[in-house]
Amino acid sequence: MTETNVKTGTLVDWLRDAHAMEQQAETMLKAQSQRLEHYPQLKARIDQHIEETYGQQKLLEGCLQRLGASPSAVKDIAGKLSAFGQGVAGGFMTDEVIKGAMSGYIFEHMEIASYTVLIAAAKAVGDVETQRACEQILPQEEAMAAWLRDHLPELTTAFLGRLADPEAASKR
């Protein structure tokens, strides 16, 4: 294998990982949005990011297609199952709103790291289209991470308020 082929092969692997990650993101965000009842701002921001996530999946699929590859079915299934597990586990916690927002914040940073690596890898192989696609996605992940960080204090205050209120039956 030539040096270029090795690098492109690695880029394809990482694009597949990112695609599996975005499928996991979709499952996780949908589970969170569906369960939220009393946090309309958080729900709206999550729904916005679900739409962005669909766009990200399409961009990654376009990159893989151009490179003559397809998303990895096995990894996609594994990603879906683990996200499902997280959603179900979240359902049994009183503080799932807060734990969910914290998990989201962590997940967004995994995405930020992944696209930072992909941009550098795309540059290294001279794949300008993949580079541009990832440069388009990265700010969406950064914005979601920043939104969660900025809203964690008020979410916490609202959650503690509901916790202390006997009339507030649902904490989510």
Residues that bind Mg ion (rule: CB under 5 A) add up to a total of 3
Dihedral of CA 106/58/117/85: which sign? positive
Binds Fe ion (CB under 5 A): choice among 21, 71, 72, 111: 111
Binds Mg ion (CB under 5 A): choice among 111, 118, 119, 130: 111
Neighbours of 94 (CB within 10 A): 12
Which CB, 125 or 144, lies closer to Fe ion? Answer: 144
> Is residue 108 at the binding interface for Mg ion, with CB under 5 A as the rule?
no
- Cα(134)–Cα(31) distance, integer angstroms: 25
Neighbours of 69 (CB within 10 A): 18
Shortest CA distance to 106 belongs to which of 48, 28, 3?
A: 28
Q: Report helix, strand and coil shares of the chain as percent, to nearest 5.
A: 85, 0, 15
Residues that bind Fe ion (rule: CB under 5 A) add up to a total of 3
> Is residue 26 at the binding interface for Mg ion, with CB under 5 A as the rule?
no
Which CB, 38 or 75, lies closer to Mg ion? Answer: 75
Residues 18-47 vs Fe ion: string with x where CB under 5 A?
------------------------------
Footprint of Fe ion (CB under 5 A): 111, 141, 144
Binding site for Mg ion (CB under 5 A): 25, 56, 111
